Chain A
Amino acid sequence: MLRVEEQQPVEFSSALISQFDEIVNRYPAGRQKSALLPILHLVQAEFGWTSVPAMDKVAEYLQIQPIEVYEVASFYTMYFLEPKGKYVLEVCRTGPCCLVGAEKIMDHIEQKLGVKEGQVTEDGLFSWRGVECLAACGFGPVLQIGPEYTFYENLTEQSVDQLIDDLKNKI
């Protein structure tokens, strides 16, 4: 965990703020807190994770207490409370995917990337973790990559290798 004092302050661009404004308009007056989850997704897409300074800014924007943002960000699994790799490979590890080989895929990813679950590769490009059911059980094993949450289905060791190589070459 990065100590709070070590976390860089952030600024929200006017483009980002106008996206926030559009979301807040979806709810009745005074219910702007409803925008919290969608806004945190936008913040994470922009900065790669939801740092404490970023969450404080969100609280300020929504006119709620910072703790109301922290408790939400820490409850839901999609928000990263520490920096991750540029690409986070999230592999479904729940029952139906395991029936068709998800555990082998996770072992293979660990070997291929050379880092344990949750850690970041040296070049800062990749992290991976097992996540719970992604509701694609018939097409398992599956993994997703944020912030677009693109889906990769019917994974094999070869297709995972290909995916990782493609992502490396993308930069």
Chain B
Amino acid sequence: MARKLLLEHINVPGINTLEVYRQKGGYRAVEKALKTLTPDEVVEEVKKSGLRGRGGAGFPTGMKWSFLAKPEGVPRYLVCNADESEPGTFKDRYLMTYIPHALIEGMIVASYALGANTSYIYVRGEMMPQIRILEKAIAEAKAAGLLGQKILGTDYSLELYVQPGGGAYICGEETALLESLEGKRGNPRIKPPFPAIAGLYGCPTVVNNVESIAAVVPIINDGGDEYAKIGIGRSTGTKLISASGNLVKPGVYEIELGLPVEEFIYSDEYCGGIANGKRLKATVAGGSSVPILPANLTLKYANGEPRSMSYESLSEGGFATGTMLGSGGFIAFDEDQCIVRNTWNFSRFYHHESCGQCSPCREGTGWLEKILHKIEYGHGTMDDIDLLWDVQRKIEGNTICPLGDAAAWPVASAIRHFREEFEWHIKEPVKSQQQNYGIANYAVPIEKAVEVKQDNL
């Protein structure tokens, strides 16, 4: 069994209460940090751990913390990003529902490290049940002296509040989130200045994902060096993977980074294989924004070496033959799924969620959706595929925030790896309305290249 740091006690009855959470060793990290470590020492442990942002970007958390400006007399803020909306990702909901104190404990330690005395957890508005769970947990922690004035008798004070969003994917982008928290439309800000200099109310602010903040707890308990021993290379620690789609056992799994993809999909400890005895056609490994890969490239690199679940291994081969770990939203497609339809669905999502601020994204996502709809419903022409490619190229890199890239990549990768399927939709407008293209050669195993021995030549 792999080591579990975040979900170790998830099945303990009553772990959502302060009492049981403490019985299982909860809030040790608060005691340790506030009573034995300086804020800078906490930051140092997080740096040593190698923890990388779990929301999708994978930026080192300790480094992000060390960029925080500390001008005299200006408040600093920690804001937790719980606006989980990336299609395929549902780990934060799971964590907040079942083990809310893990997030609250992490918030206290992280706020202490950053010198924040007021912190907010921005939860997407649709998660009202989770908001109620968190508010209850905060009240429990406050009653136990873990929040509020002079925590555990130390000089450190912290107020923690939960803020609901209003239903907008874009508010998962950190500057849009801050705008939203200020009571405005979620339009991302132009960077610089970065939030570390001018964030919430113009004050220095750190925005971290739920899972990143929860991971601070084991890092402080066991030390950054211990945490860094788990995982592989620069992908240290454990990661929550949200597995969805056509799997025998979809759900949230905590893995040690470096787990082979094949083991994750097929072993009984994890997803248990593809549902209904079907074959795997494709995967989106890190949430809807990352490139889709056919089954064979999901399991192996182009050179035949096995691929594993880590930041580096999933992106091996760049966008030509690789993808990204992203937020860990692992979506599996079986042989009956239509790539064109799914790409259209994702494009509709990005069109719906574009904030409308930048023209390439506002207009481009609409074009992508319309052209894909046309192809999916049997009215496409061959030129439309080139047009799709052209439009996505013109969005990528030309917008204030990464939503534009996120909209472009799924389309680009679908055409890159599944072009025949798009062409089939165009050549067979009637047939494509009645049946699917099927699995074609997408699951044909990639052979490991055999080294040619010089002597035999």
Residues of A within 8 A of B (CB): 26, 28, 31, 33-38, 40-41, 62, 64, 68, 71-72, 75-79, 93-96, 98-100, 131-140, 144, 146-151
Contacts and interface: CB of A to CB of B under 8 A. Distances in A.
Given A38-B164, A79-B166, A138-B250, A149 B127 contact: yes
Given A34-B181, A132-B352, A138-B251, 20 more contacts: A26-B163, A34-B182, A68-B184, A71-B185, A76-B166, A95-B288, A95-B345, A95-B349, A98-B341, A99-B244, A99-B245, A99-B342, A100-B245, A132-B85, A132-B87, A133-B85, A134-B126, A135-B93, A136-B90, A137-B244
Interface stretch (B65-73, B190-198, B329-337): B329-337
Nearest to B271: A138
A142 B167 CA distance: 16
Interface band, chain B: 35 or more
B136 to A, nearest CB: 15
Nearest to A35: B183
B243 interface: yes
B126 A149 contact: yes
B201 A28 contact: yes
Nearest to B185: A75
A72 B166 contact: yes
Contacts of A98: 341-342, 345
Contacts of A37: 125, 163-166, 180, 183
Contacts of A38: 163-164
Contact of A137 (B89, B127, B183): B89
Contacts of B331: 95-96, 99, 137
Contacts of A135: 84-85, 89-90, 92-93, 124, 126-127
Contacts of A100: 244-246
Given A75-B185, A148-B129, A138 B168 contact: no
B86 interface: yes
Interface string B81-107: 000111111101100000000000000
Contacts of A41: 125, 128, 164, 166
A75 B186 contact: yes
A42 to B, nearest CB: 10
Interface centre among B120, B181, B184, by most A CB within 10 Å? B184
A79 B167 CA distance: 8
Nearest to B252: A138
B26 interface: no
A72 B87 contact: no
B75 interface: yes
A137 B186 contact: no
A10 to B, nearest CB: 20
Most buried by A among B87, B118, B284, B353: B87
Given A28-B75, A99-B246, A137 B90 contact: yes
Contacts of B246: 99-100
Contacts of B288: 94-95, 133
Interface string B278-307: 000000100010000000000000000000
Nearest to B187: A75
